[in-house]
Amino acid sequence: MSAVIESHGHDDHHHGPAKGLTRWLYTTNHKDIGSLYLWFSFAMFLIGGVMALVIRAELFQPGMQIVEPEFYNQMLTLHGLIMVFGAVMPAFVGLANWLIPMMVGAPDMALPRMNNLSFWILPFAFFILLSSLFMEGGAPNFGWTFYAPLSTTYAPPSVTFFIFSVHIMGASSIMGSINVIVTIMNMRAPGMTLMKMPLFVWSWLITAYLLIAVMPVLAGAVTMMLMDIHFGTSFFNAAGGGDPVLFQHIFWFFGHPEVYIMILPAFGIASHIIETFSRKQLFGYSSMVWAMASIAILSFVVWAHHMFTVGLPLAAELFFMWATMLIAVPTGVKVFNWVTTMFKGSITYETPMLFAIAFVVLFTIGGFSGLMLAITPADFQYHDTYFVVAHFHYVLVPGSVFSIMAAVYYWIPKWTGNMYDERLGKLHFWLSFTGVNITFFPQHFIGLAGMPRRYPDYALQFADWNAISSVGAFLFGASQILFLFIVLKTVMGGKKATPQVWEGSRGLEWTVDSPAPYHTFTTPPKVSL
Amino acid sequence: MNEGSKKTIKTLCFAVLGMFTFSFALVPLYDVFCEVTGLNGKIELKATNNTNIEIENGRDLSVQFVSHNNEQMPWAFKPSEDSIKIKTGKYHTTSFYVKNTTNKMMTAQAIPSVAPSNAAAHLKKLECFCFEQQELAPGEEALLPVRLIFDDALPKSINSVVLSYTIFDVTDYDKVQLSKDLQTNHGNDHKMEPSA
Ligand code: HEM
Ligand SMILES: [Cu+2]
């Protein structure tokens, strides 16, 4: 991918942003909306993080010391929901808003007013979800996977508000993805063919299709729950002829593609950063595209690897085992390409690159534990233990979350016009890297030793690793305050950034000034190879 | 906005509606799939009318009975025999004991399940209390009969089968609604009338 830019449109009508608070309320500008999404996501990251620390504080020692078991369950559920739907997904949507129009040379997203709407309904969704903490019976307590009948027959009354908020989050994601797809399919600058698109754009195109395919299924699942709870149907109620296992099928038909929704944009980000700081062209561009596409397609036929122990017939156990393992092949292609890009590159280790390299290494560890879980007979032992917790935190925290942090460091000079403080950035990286590994690596051990997930208490033999894990969690949590400080400091000022920002950076977004003007590419740039 | 964008938006909106519909279509699809393949150990809730599956000299088979009470279902409910030794292709009759231990009128529905699940397709019943709802007065007890047969096509690898029943309190369920659900979900053409 080497796009040479022949001309680029600068801001030709010079109206900037409106003043005051209403700017943010009424804005249809993709950069404003991108910032809103990112700040919202960061707020959710902190709230979800505090909940995680409540959990880890309780688990610091065996026995019950800080919270009631009922409250523990609520923290666990809200932590999962907030991190998935409030932190990781909106952060990627924010990055998509900021970057996709600039990367494809479009003046804005295709549907700017819908863009405003899809952001502004999100705070309401999470306000509703969080307010359930103060309702009678407390917040949802059935885990982020909300299996029926825990979430129907045995749910607290606030489950209705939970369902409503999931509907809103789903609507927001669907509108966001429609916007992304229409922008990418119809608003690329002349000369930018599909196979010349930057990989972040590719990763989001595929992600958006996944979202369009599975968010309606999630909406269907919560709608069925609503009907079971309030309208006397029996979708998931065996007494009325329904089947609780059906819930798991529907949920994971959504749920597995959902985990790829949370990692594909990260793949795109890592590709850009590794390419830039290796000062080499990315190895295997087209295989990267094909790998992402095949991962996305395969993600629809592996859902039952979350259900190996529900009593599937042997043929299904085997099918889902092999299909799951098959996903490791395109994933392996991607890791190979990243490593090969770095091979013999003249690498420098600025903060974004540190996060990107950590992403590759630690995500791969998560991929390996995923492969172990994919082995059906082994999963009977691992299922619902801390080993699973370790697996998905490795792919999600040093995976998705590190990629988001890498993206922020990489593009923040473009957004603010200022360089971040490199010394503090590196400090943030090393604190996070240490914290994340101290937190989650021991969870592999206690999982293999048999500690079940989702309990507020545990047997004595798990005490040491749990204490270590809790220490790591507080280190990781505290280092995110430093991240907030670094970002604020960069927004306020700092060394001025050049348009290209990084020596090795390529792509349309680096051809406009830093900070990027309020309106970019009002006349499309010409792209040629 | 150009024509291309409008077309993309329209297609995507249809895709969203289509997938929402699909999520509901998964419900009948799941049941059809399970019924055709007998995968989840669900058994048809109706009497078989196939009489020519009886044979002499069938294989030995041990059948174990398990009973569960769903949620707060207070009734006493247990098999009269924990396990029986039978032969394939031959009818056997056994029974389950129930007692309404409360002091109010209650209605119950039992739902059967077979393990291993690939035995389900080979289990035929002439008579089963699970075909109907059971209504018992306070303190009333009953022996509920099951008359069953395993056809000889049962996979050779299976020589022991668990037949489990879960009993549900359906007193507060709308009967019409319930029987409709059961029919759509199990392809049941047997009318569910409350039994005395
Ligand atoms: C090589 C790739 C992967 C494989 C083979 C894999 C395999 C698995 C398997 C078999 C399970 C079920 C374990 C159990 O419950 O017993 C699982 C759980 C999970 N995986 Fe992965 N996985 C992979 C990548 C990912 C990625 C990229 C993500 C997200 C970014 C992810 C997120 C999750 C989550 C969230 C769960 C747990 C869900 C829950 O029960 O709460 N996985 N994975
Ligand atoms: Cu999965």
One domain, residues B58 and B7: no
| Minimal-distance CA residue to ligand 1 atom 29 | A259
Give which of B66, B155, B153, B159 is closest to B118, Cα–Cα. Answer: B155
One domain, residues B139 and B108: yes
CB atoms within 10 A of CB A142: 22
One domain, residues B117 and B80: yes
Residue A457's Cβ-side half-sphere holds a number of Cα atoms within 13 Å equal to: 9
Ligand nearest to C-alpha A396: 1
What is the rounded CA–CA span in Å between residue A77 and residue A296?
27
CB atoms within 10 A of CB A380: 11
Ligand nearest to C-alpha A379: 1
One domain, residues B9 and B97: no
User: B14 CA to chain A: closest CA distance, Å?
Assistant: 10
Give which of A172, A30, A144 is closest to B16, Cα–Cα. Answer: A172
Q: Is the CB of A145 under 6 A from ligand 1?
A: yes
- Answer whether residue B192 is part of any domain: no
- Answer whether residue B120 is part of any domain: yes
What is the rounded CA–CA span in Å between residue A455 and residue B82?
35
Q: Is the CB of A250 under 6 A from ligand 1?
A: no
On whether any CB of chain B is under 8 Å from the CB of A20, the answer is no
What is the rounded CA–CA span in Å between residue A30 and residue A28?
6
DSSP-derived 3-state class of residue B86: strand
CA distances from A356 to A362, A363, A406, A529 (A): 10, 10, 6, 27
One domain, residues B14 and B93: no
Give the domain extent around B54: 41-185
Q: Is the CB of A205 under 6 A from ligand 1?
A: no
| Phi, psi (rounded to 5 degrees) for A503 | -55, -40
- With a CB-CB cutoff of 8 Å, which residues 91-120 of chain B face chain A? 109, 111, 115, 117-118
Give which of A300, A14, A37, A302 is closest to A180, Cα–Cα. Answer: A37
What is the rounded CA–CA span in Å between residue B95 and residue B81?
8
DSSP-derived 3-state class of residue B146: strand
- With a CB-CB cutoff of 8 Å, which residues 118-177 of chain B face chain A? 118, 166, 168-170, 173-174, 177
- Answer whether residue B195 is part of any domain: no
Residues of B in contact with A316 (CB under 8 A): 39
| Phi, psi (rounded to 5 degrees) for B60 | -75, 140
- Answer whether residue B196 is part of any domain: no
> Which of ligand 1's atoms lies nearest the C-alpha of A367?
1
One domain, residues B158 and B179: yes
One domain, residues B97 and B172: yes
Q: Which of A186, A224, A250 shows the shortest C-beta gap to B4?
A: A186
- Answer whether residue B70 is part of any domain: yes
- Answer whether residue B191 is part of any domain: no
> Which of ligand 1's atoms lies nearest the C-alpha of A373?
10
Q: Is the CB of A305 under 6 A from ligand 1?
A: yes
Residue A259 CA to ligand 2 center (angstroms) comes to 7
What is the rounded CA–CA span in Å between residue A425 and residue A167?
37
Q: Which two tokens stand for residue B183?
A: 């029919």
Residues of A in contact with B1 (CB under 8 A): 110-111
Residues of A in contact with B120 (CB under 8 A): none
Q: Is the CB of A373 under 6 A from ligand 1?
A: yes
Q: Which of B16, B26, B30 shows the shortest C-beta gap to A212?
A: B16
Per-residue pLDDT of chain A (529 residues; tens, 9 = 90+): 444 444 444 444 456 787 888 889 999 999 999 999 999 999 999 999 999 999 999 999 999 999 999 999 999 999 999 999 999 999 999 999 999 999 999 999 999 999 999 999 999 999 999 999 999 999 999 999 999 989 998 999 999 999 999 999 999 999 999 999 999 999 999 989 999 999 999 999 999 999 999 999 999 999 999 999 999 888 998 777 788 999 999 999 999 999 999 999 999 999 999 999 999 999 999 999 999 999 999 999 999 999 999 988 888 899 999 999 999 999 999 999 999 999 999 999 999 999 999 999 999 999 999 999 999 999 999 999 999 999 999 999 999 999 999 999 999 999 999 999 999 999 999 999 999 999 999 999 999 999 999 999 999 999 999 999 999 999 999 999 999 999 999 999 999 999 999 998 989 999 999 999 999 998 888 876 5
Kind of pairing between the strands at B160-169 and B60-69: parallel
Q: Which two tokens stand for residue A396?
A: 């999600």
Predicted complex ipTM: 0.88
- CATH classification of the domain holding B152: 2.60.370.10
| Phi, psi (rounded to 5 degrees) for B52 | -95, 30
The residue whose CB lies within 8 Å of the most ligand 1 atoms, and thus the one to mutate among A83, A324, A369, A388, is A388
One domain, residues B32 and B97: no
One domain, residues B96 and B119: yes
One domain, residues B65 and B25: no
Q: Report the catalytic residues of A.
A: 79, 108, 144, 172-173, 256, 258, 260, 271, 305-306, 331, 334, 453
The answer to whether A448 and A437 have CB atoms below 8 angstroms apart is no
- Answer whether residue B69 is part of any domain: yes
One domain, residues B107 and B149: yes
- Answer whether residue B119 is part of any domain: yes
CA distances from A451 to A77, A250, A381, A384, A462 (A): 19, 28, 11, 9, 7
Burial class (CB in 10 A: 0-12, 13-18, 19+), A67: middle
What is the rounded CA–CA span in Å between residue A112 and residue B95?
68
One domain, residues B73 and B20: no
Is the peptide bond prior to B79 cis by the omega test (within 30 degrees of 0)?
no
On whether any CB of chain B is under 8 Å from the CB of A69, the answer is no
Residue A13's Cβ-side half-sphere holds a number of Cα atoms within 13 Å equal to: 5
Burial class (CB in 10 A: 0-12, 13-18, 19+), A22: exposed
pTM: 0.88
Are B19 and A153 a contacting pair at CB < 8 A? Answer: no
Residue A412's Cβ-side half-sphere holds a number of Cα atoms within 13 Å equal to: 28
- With a CB-CB cutoff of 8 Å, which residues 165-184 of chain A face chain B? 174, 177-178, 181-182
Number of domains in chain B: 2
| Minimal-distance CA residue to ligand 1 atom 3 | A370
